[in-house]
Each structure stands twice: as structure tokens, then as C-alpha cells.
Amino acid sequence: MSTGKKLGYLKMKTLLIQLVWNFEFEQCPEPLRGYAAEDFLTHSPQQCYVKLRLLGQQITDSALGSPVL
């Protein structure tokens, strides 16, 4: 395996770890959700959406300033 390929894999792993550590993966709305895929050379999803929420931040009601549950 070449040095460039190893470096590319390391960069992808680092990106994935940063996403998992810093964000919560939430469920997407119904129209954007699904497992449909197309098979050509590879198995490719027709829709690929991710809904993220930054960890450590609370969603607050702007009028009252209280956390929304």
C-alpha cells in the first residue's frame, strides 16, 4: 500500500472520529429517509442525508430563554 493511500485512510478515519465526537446524529425527516440504492459498479444510495446536532449546545426557546425538551 502506498504512502498516499495510507495517509488518505488516516484522514478519513480522523474525519469520522471528529464527526462522532462532536455531533449527535439525529433522525432525518420522513421524505429524506430511506434505504433505496442503485447497483452499478458499486452499491450507491439514491439519497444520502445526515441530520447533525452539535453536542454541548442546548436548544432554547428564544422568547423564554428556557431549554426545549
Per-residue pLDDT at 60: 55
pLDDT tens, per residue, the chain with 69 residues = 899 999 999 999 999 999 999 999 999 888 888 888 999 899 898 888 889 899 876 555 554 555 554
Q: Which residues pair with 62 in a beta bridge?
A: none
Per-residue pLDDT at 47: 87
- Phi/psi region, residue 22 (left: phi>0; alpha: psi -120 to 50; beta: rest), is alpha
Least Cα distance to 44 among 36, 53, 32, 34 occurs for 36
